[in-house]
Each structure stands twice: as structure tokens, then as C-alpha cells.
Chains A and B, each alone.
Chain A
Amino acid sequence: MANHGLGQYRPLPGVKDEMMTNEGAIRPLWKRLMTRLESLSADDMARDIARADQYLMNSGVFYRQYGDGQSLERPWPLSHIPVLIEEAEWAKLSEGLMQRADLLEKLMADFYGPNDLVQSGRLPTSLIAGNSEWQRPMVGVQPRSGHYLHFIAFELGRGPNGQWWVLSDRTQAPSGAGFALENRVATSRMYADIYSAENVHRLAGFFGGFRDALMALRQDRNGRVAVMTPGPLNETYYEQAYIARYLGVSLVQGEDLAVSGGQLMMRTVSGLRPVEVLWRRLDSNYADPLELDHKSRIGTPGMVSALRAGSLTMVNALGSGLLETRALMAFLPSLAKDLLGERLAIPNIATWWCGDAAARQAVLNAPGRMVLNPALASGLPFDPATPHVNAGNMPPEELARLLAELGPTLVAQEAVTLSTTPTLIDGAIVPRPMALRVFLARTPMGWQVMPGGYARIGATPDPAAIAMQRGGSAADVWVVSPRKVSDVTLVAPASQPLRRAEPGALPSRSAENLFWLGRYVERSEGVLRLLRAYNIRLAETGNAESPLLRALTPLFEWHGIDPSKGIPNGLLVNLDAAIGSAGRVRDRFSPDAWSALTDLDKTARRMATRVTPGDDAARALSKLLRKLAGISGLMHENMYRFMGWRFMTIGRLHERATGMAQTLSILTQPDAPDGLLDLAIEVGDSTLTHRRRFTVTTSRETVLDLLALDPLNPRSIRHQIDQLREQVDRLPAANTQGDLSPLARAVLRIYADLAVSEPRDLTPERLTDLRNRIASLSTNLSEAYLQ
């Protein structure tokens, strides 16, 4: 029973531990979990951990880490032991947080309404007037829903005496709820047996309730709900895409939206469609370059105008970040009494705004317990990006001078000691500081609290190490009931029968990225085949200057590829472009295909450093081709056959048709050297078919028949055009009572042309012309659907 150091586990001096009493006894709530953990052999524990991590990796859960001028995708740092909290305690916490949420709603209504709190002297003017989160254009704009706040979070810590404290109010656009879901899935896989035995409150009901609440905020049944993201480079983009997918709503960026006639609209492949409810995951400043931050490139001009017109509900109202101002915490206890007539059920950490003489004296009296921050700071406590000093470390005269000079710009907060919770570090169970993040969503029945899901765990006993950018991790939180819990708790189960939701209109930007994804993946395959054919022949002759290989030069140039390298850079550029496009449509892209694609890219990059031209390259390229075939399969077979899939498929067909026309125009020149026609068939992956269909030797005519005109060969130009016709006809407005769209007409012309052509008609000039005509289809497509 001493496999993982539980025997040596002791609470840190003066710190409350969640799992163990100060006397060293495991709390009853934790008994089953800890006994199970301790009884595991090292191998079994490694296997369980691997199971959880494998899940996260397969799902592609990541966050973005910044540093050294780079930003890197990091695997999600799951802490492998959940935090356990009793249901009764959680219920008390929830009640207190709902009270705080109501108070914050009242503050919003005042800051963006009459400003009585400042006018009556209950709040210092500078906290609002000097605050960049006070969005003046929003003053006087009534929220359509009647509420400013709809989805918020609180960061909580527990002090040595067991009391919970609010460390921070997260009202701007809190992240983490989606990660909580992933924490839960991964953790419940690791503890499958205990999880089902332990009566842990489920999370799904909370999300279902919030989704229904968002839908209920629409006034028109055709109005849309969307999640707005700052874009793929955001730290938590993965989560935003995940939430949108989970809730079944569109993920949009600023450029996907436009305001027309006072209404927010989404640009879709079917034209502009109204959006009525927007859950923003970007800070208010960036939402509208016209009326907020003029430099924003990720907002939508006119957003504020749509809000003024009352045609849009924003979750949360623009300007809600103001409530995160740290100095406000100094005033919340008295404001609660004033505005609610109640004491705060859960206090926030003791805070002093140093513009007040009594507050400055309090700091001077006990500097050792005080941390000084900018009064208007809004970051999380322990956020390495927020400047802070420990007042106790300053010479008293200097502290006095600082407070006298800059008092109103400073806030002092009591240094907190966080409770610890067990976590696994290098196979040993050790105590580490913990902060809870609790999410609240407004529903027609009032605030709902997500029952658990998310705790931040420090990497070292120092509370500052809790920040993920500093190596902190995240744990699942289990709210444990003494009774059996239903699978969906807190929120009444949906009573309506299952309806298959109408697929929403596809945003134009998603369509564009899917189209290019289809093209880049196909182009990569074309390049791989060509390079492999080249390297096989190079291995046979050892002569890169042979007439056969030199005949390929124009084709390589067209692709932007230098074949003298085993794995040329041009190939890697293509793969990067594919990953870039896929990364921008993570909400619509199969997670399996995503990890396969990034794996392919990594393999190719590794190979690029050591693979030499010739046989070595030919083998490496074959391996890459096999991986790519797997990806194509995942992309095209596992995607729901609706609009998104259609654009990706059109991209693939378009690229394959252009590529083949270009290949044939160069490789079927009348004076082509021996073996070039065979190479063309090989690049077209049609060697076997050619052998079966034509008993004669390879000739220009047989090659052109098979690779250009044969409708049954899935590599031929004709086949691509047939398929393109089918897909294009199903695009919006392709055929309005017999009136064809310009795109449909252009495809039909190419089709007719090919259908009546004979192999001998296809001179290199005609093939080039054909290539140009196919290439220009993308202009038609873009004009009709992608703008």
C-alpha cells in the first residue's frame, strides 16, 4: 500500500489540504479514490494515465503557449487526480456565487446607465473614467435581453480556515468551460469504475440548459446563434471551436459578419443570414473597429450599431470586462449591502483601493500581508503578466511615498494562501495549490451553476506557479452526492422528441478554407507522386540529367518544387498550407483527420533533414503517400455530406483536374523522350488500369484516353469534371428554374467539350487551354460563394 507516496503525503504547514486533515487522516469523501490510486501498480497507473492522455491527444485538445517570440500548441496539461467536493458544500458555494452574479449585473446596469454609484460618491470616479474597459459607446444602450451578463465565471480559492474566497470575477469572455468537458471525459476514462460508483454530478445538463437559453434569446425562429472567436491564433481557439461544435452553433470570426440595415448578418454560401445571438469570445475593444478600437482587424464594423438598433443580443454585453477591475473588489462588500440589502455570502479576498487614506494606512500598518497591483488590472491573480509587488519587501519610507504619490492607481490585496489538493508529479502523490473556476449561465429559470469541472493546479507549492503559462495544470472537479445522481442533473431533461436540426448555412470563410484544404491535400498528393516517380528513376540510372528526368523540369517548376532535395521545401510549404486551412475550420474538421495531418507534417519535416535523393527518397515518399491516403479517407469518408464537405470536395476535384491537365500538357509533348508516357501513367496512379485496358504498348492516344477522357477512371480529367458538375449543381442558386449560375455554366461547357473530344484532339496547346479554363472556375466559385 505505499506505491505512490501516499504514506508520506502531509499537508503543508498552515495550509488546508482538500484530501487530508491536519492530523494526517484521509477525509471520508476521498477514501475510495485514494485507496484505489494507492493500490495501483506503477504500470497500471501509467496505463490509466496514458488512457486519459491518449483521449486528449486523439481529440486534439491543446492550448497555445507564448514565449521566446513564438507561440506553440501544447497538449492540454491534465492533472490526473480530480478534486472532490461534497454536494452540500457545492450547493452553498453555488448560492453565494449566484448572489454575486446578481450584484455584478446591477453594477453593469449602473455603469452603462445612470452612473448613480459614482454620482453618489459610493465609487471613485477614476475607477470608471480612467478604465479602458468602460466602453463609452455602450452607455445608454439597453441590452435587448434585459440582461448584461449571461455567462460568467468566478475564480475561487480556499483559505487555511476552510473559508472560500472569490479571487477574481471573470465577466469579459471567460474561457475554460469547454476544457472542463474534456477534463471530465479524460478523467472519467481514467477512473471508469470509481466514476460510475461515486455519484458525481454530470456536466452535460448545464450545457444543454445554456444552449436552450441561447436559443430562447432569439426573437425569430430563423435567427441564428453563433460563437465569435478572435481566430485560430488565440490561446483558447481550440476550446471555442469545441464549444461551438458541442452546442451545434456556428463559429464565426469578425470577417464572417456584416451589419446591414441595423441587423448583424453572417456571410454564408447562401448569402447574408441574420444572427440574433452572439456569444463573444473576444474582448469588447476588438468587436467593432468603427466605434471601439479603431485598430482592430478581428471585429465587425457596425457591431455597436446593431446593438444600438436592438437587433442583437451579445453574451456578455460589450463592456462587461469593466467588472473584472481589481479595485472594484474593495467596494463589493458595501455595495452588496447597499444594492441587495445582503452581506456577500462568499467574500472576495480582502482588497484596499489606495486612493483612500484609511486604505493607505491599512497597507502601511501591515505591509507584510499585502500585494500591490495596478488598480485597474483585470488579469487573474497569479497572472505573470500583471505587474505586482509585495508591499512587505519595500522599505517603509519608500512604500509610504509610493502610496502618497500613486495611491489612486494602486490596489492592495491580502496575499492568499491557497488550499492544496493531491496531484501526481513524477509518479508520486504530492500536495499542490489549487484554485477553482466555477461557471454560471443565465437561463430562463435564473442562474445555473456548472457542477464542477475545472480547477487550476500549481506546478510547485508556490501559488504563483498556478498559471498555465508557468507550468500549471488543470484538474477535473467532482461534485459528489451522497445519493445517486441522474445522468442529467440540475436541469430538467428535454421533453421534446429528438428532431434532426436543419444544418445551418455555411459561413463563406469556412467554405473557402474547406475548398483550399481540399486543394492543398490533393496538390500534396500530386507532388508526392511526381517526386516518387522522379526518385525511382533517379535510383535506377543515378543520372539527374537524363532526358527523361529533364523533361520533368517544367512540371516541377509549375509546382514550385526543387527535386534535387529528397524532401523538397515546396512540399512542406504545401502541407503547412493544408494545416493552416484545416486549423481555421477546426469546428468542422474531423479531429482524427487533424491529428493525422499534423502527424504527416511532423514526419515529413523529420524526413526532410536526412532523406537523400534516389532510393532513400522514393521509400520515404511512399511512406508519406500512404499516410496521406489515410488522411484523404478520413476527410472524405467521415464528414457529414453537407455544404462544408461539398466545398472541400470541389477543391479536391478542381485541383486534381488542373493538375492532370498540366501534367498531360507537358508529358505528352510529341517529342517526349522514351519512358515519359509511362511516367505519366504512374503519376496518374493508373498503371494497372492501363495494362488491363490497352494490350498495346503505351502511346500518346492511350495515355490521353485513360487520363483525360475516360469517365470511369477516377484520376481522369473527365471524371473530375463529371463529379464537379454533380457537386456544383447542388450549390445554392446553381440552377434557378433552368437559369444556370455562371459557375454551373462554365463547368457544363468544359464537360461538353471533353465529352466530344477524341484523344488525338488533345494537343499540348489544347490541354494548356483546358487547364486555364478549369483553373478559372475558382474565380466563378469565389465570386458566387466565398465573399
Chain B
Amino acid sequence: MIRYGLTLKITYKFDRPSGAGRQLLRVRPQSIPGVQLVNSCRLTTQPKAIELRSFTDFFGTTVDEVVLPAGLDDLVIEMRAEVIRRGKEAAAADLSTHRDQLAVDLAALHDLGPQSPHHFLFPTEQIPPVPAIAAYAAKAVEGTQTVRQAVQALGEALHNDLSFDAKATTVDTPIIESFEKRHGVCQDFSQIMISGLRSLGIPAAYVSGFLRTLPPPGKPRLQGADAMHAWVRAWCGVEQGWIEYDPTNSCFVTTDHVVIGYGRDYADAAPVTGMLRINGTQRTGHSVDIIEL
């Protein structure tokens, strides 16, 4: 169990005064029973928002709905939170279903609630079926028996074959392009892996969150730090349920990962939705600080 102090700061500078309008922010860590507990969380904007209210979206993520005044030169969005994160026994026994049995488990599950795996089987705008990825995934999981083994095998294969390149892609780069060029950031790694898992019939979700900055002594520094992070959640049958895997760092998630929310793809969980994302005449940056309290 670790207690974190978490600060996220997103800054925008506009070349022309901007009518920033209405945005949706998905940046708050989420309380997950037994895994994550949010003690406090505060979101502010500078300048002050005209309207600020929050709601919980379908998948359980807290969304801040913000209306900003027109004529902005600068904008700062800041989120501060204190979170207790419990370690999930990542190395524990593999309780996952045999791959051949997964469809049976799924068929027996009549559920449309937010945690239901059924939402995460179907193609979306950003994660369409890609035959090349499906073929790659089929090869990567050859010889695996359980769903968990398949998840790990595909994640490790992607980690080995794809290079991390923060400049190579944008949030709009299609997964087929980053897969063909074998590079990308955590978002590309995750969405490619999700596409592969779904092609194998394994329900897979996109996870948006934070990754701890400072590595514990003696451990290698994790890539994707100092930024918001993304990884994958896969459903392994009724008994095991969901597990989370980070393909950028080829590991099951640990106490270093803090979850914001889940979605079918990036669009469902994007930190910022609205004009700020598509306005061309702006410079933007963000920084994340995670300190152990």
C-alpha cells in the first residue's frame, strides 16, 4: 500500500485569443474498491471557468465539464489528488480461463454494466479490425494455453518489436500506421494490443492513468514516465476477471500505476475532449508529478 501525492498540470498558450468554449476533462484518479482509494482531489483552471460541473460517465470515470471564457491567451488546468494504491498480486496464480473456453464464459455472462467485458469486444472508430495486427497477434500467442498467458505473450512481443518514440505519432495516428512503422507512444502500444486481443476474442479495454515518476532503487527507469500514461485491461474469464497489462513497459500493472478510467479506445478516455484538442493555433504541454507521501 502506497500513498501518493499527485499533481497534473496542463498548459495551453494561444497565438490568437481563443474562444475556448466547452471541454470535457477526464483527469481525476478513480476510487476502485480494493485497488485504489482517492482521499482528496481538486481540479482548478486559470483563468476561472464560467461553468464547472462533474458527472460520472458510463464506464465509471469522473468527467469534469468545463466552460471557459472567450479571449484566452493562456490556460492552465491543474489537478491535485491524494491516492492510496494497493498492490494487486500481479504474480499470483493464473486463474484465467483456457483460451478455448473464453467464449463459453462470455456467452454465459448476461451483463451490460460498466464492468461487463461485452463492451470491449467490438471494433471502434479508433480501434478497427486490422488483419495485419490480427495475424501478428495469432503468431505471438502460439502455444499459450490460458488467456493470461496470451495477454502476456502479446504484450511482450509488442514491447520487443515496437520502439517507443514520443515524436513519431499524434493522438490521431491510425493504429495501422504506427503498427506498420513499429513505433509509437503508450497510446499506440495499448491500442495496437487491444486490437490484437479483440481479434483473438479476448475483451480488452483502454486504460488511462498515471505512472510513478521515480523508480525504486535498483530498478530500471520506466519509459512513459513524466507524462500521463495508458495501458491495457483484458478480461480473462469469470474466475480471474480483469487483469491490467502495460505493453509499453512489458509488465502487469503494479502499485506504480494509478487509474483515471477505462474505455473502449482512446476517445472514450481522452484527458481533454473539445475545441482545445483540435484548435491548431496553440502550444500545449503537460507535466505529471507523483510523489510518495
Contact = CB atoms under 8 A, between A and B. Distances in A.
A121 B110 contact: yes
A150 B42 CA distance: 41
A308 B24 CA distance: 15
Contacts of A260: 51, 67
A120 B110 contact: yes
A137 B57 contact: yes
Interface in A11-55: none
Contact of A130 (B51, B67, B122, B125): B122
Contact of B22 (A130, A139, A290): A290
B92 interface: no
Contact of A129 (B67, B112, B267): B112
Interface in B96-125: 109-113, 116, 118-119, 121-122, 125
Nearest to A408: B107
A305 interface: yes
Contacts of B57: 136-137
A125 B112 contact: yes
A115 interface: yes
Nearest to B108: A121
A115 B112 contact: yes
B38 to A, nearest CB: 22
A118 B24 contact: no
A125 B121 CA distance: 11
Contacts, number: 57
B273 interface: yes
Given A119-B111, A119-B112, A136 B122 contact: no
Contacts of A294: 267, 273
A355 to B, nearest CB: 9
A126 B113 CA distance: 13
B21 interface: yes
Contact of A291 (B21, B24, B67): B24
Contacts of A305: 65
B73 to A, nearest CB: 21
Contacts of B267: 294
Contacts of B121: 126, 129-130
Contacts of B111: 118-119, 125
A294 B266 CA distance: 12
Contact of B119 (A120, A129, A262, A295): A129
Interface string A707-746: 0000000000000000000000000000000000000000
Contact of A290 (B51, B119, B274): B274
Nearest to B63: A291
A259 interface: yes
A301 B274 contact: yes
B118 A129 contact: yes
A259 B58 contact: no
Interface string B131-144: 00000000000000
Contacts of A301: 21-22, 274-275
A596 interface: no
Contacts of A136: 57-59, 119
A395 interface: no
Contacts of A295: 125
Nearest to A122: B110
A689 B220 CA distance: 93
Interface string B251-293: 0000000000000000100000111000000000000000000
A302 interface: yes
A137 B116 CA distance: 16
Q: Which of A262, A290, A295 has the most CB of B within 10 A?
A: A290
Interface string A293-333: 01100000110010010000000000000000000000000
A343 to B, nearest CB: 26
Contacts of B119: 129, 136
A294 B65 CA distance: 15
Nearest to A129: B118
A261 B112 contact: no
Interface string A88-120: 000000000000000000000000000100111
Contacts of B21: 301
B58 A290 contact: no
A259 B118 contact: no
Contacts of A137: 57-58
Contacts of A128: 112
Contacts of A126: 118, 121
Nearest to A134: B112
Given A136-B58, A137-B57, A118 B122 contact: no
Contacts of A118: 110-112
A125 B22 contact: no
B195 to A, nearest CB: 16
A260 B22 CA distance: 10
A259 B118 CA distance: 33
Given A290-B24, A290-B274, A139 B118 contact: no
Nearest to A294: B267
Contacts of A259: 22
A129 B58 contact: no
Interface in B34-58: 51, 53, 55, 57-58
Contacts of B55: 308
A405 to B, nearest CB: 13
A169 to B, nearest CB: 21
A285 to B, nearest CB: 11
A129 B117 CA distance: 10
Nearest to A123: B110
B273 A290 contact: yes
B110 A119 contact: yes
A34 B274 CA distance: 61
A629 B235 CA distance: 72
Given A119-B110, A139-B58, A129 B122 contact: yes
Most buried by A among B53, B65, B275: B65
A126 B55 CA distance: 27
A292 to B, nearest CB: 11
Contact of A125 (B58, B59, B118): B118
Contacts of A290: 22-24, 273-274
Interface string B64-94: 0101000000000000000000000000000
Nearest to B21: A301
B84 to A, nearest CB: 29
Contacts of B274: 290, 301
B103 to A, nearest CB: 10
Contacts of B53: 262
Nearest to A376: B122
A292 B178 CA distance: 26
Nearest to B116: A129
Nearest to A355: B107
B219 to A, nearest CB: 38
Contacts of B22: 259, 290, 301-302
A115 to B, nearest CB: 4
B269 to A, nearest CB: 13
Contacts of B275: 301
A295 B278 CA distance: 11
Interface in B137-176: none
A302 B53 CA distance: 12
Nearest to B203: A129
A115 B118 CA distance: 14
A4 B220 CA distance: 90
A246 B125 CA distance: 39
Interface in A119-171: 119-121, 125-126, 128-130, 136-137, 139
Contacts of B23: 290
A142 to B, nearest CB: 14
6 contacts: A125-B112, A129-B112, A260-B51, A291-B24, A295-B125, A301-B22
Q: Across chains A and B, which 6 residue pairs bring their CB atoms closest together, nearest first?
A: A136-B58, A129-B118, A130-B122, A115-B112, A301-B22, A125-B118
Given A115-B112, A129-B122, A262-B53, 16 more contacts: A118-B112, A120-B110, A126-B121, A129-B118, A129-B119, A136-B57, A259-B22, A260-B67, A261-B51, A290-B23, A290-B24, A294-B273, A295-B125, A301-B274, A301-B275, A302-B22
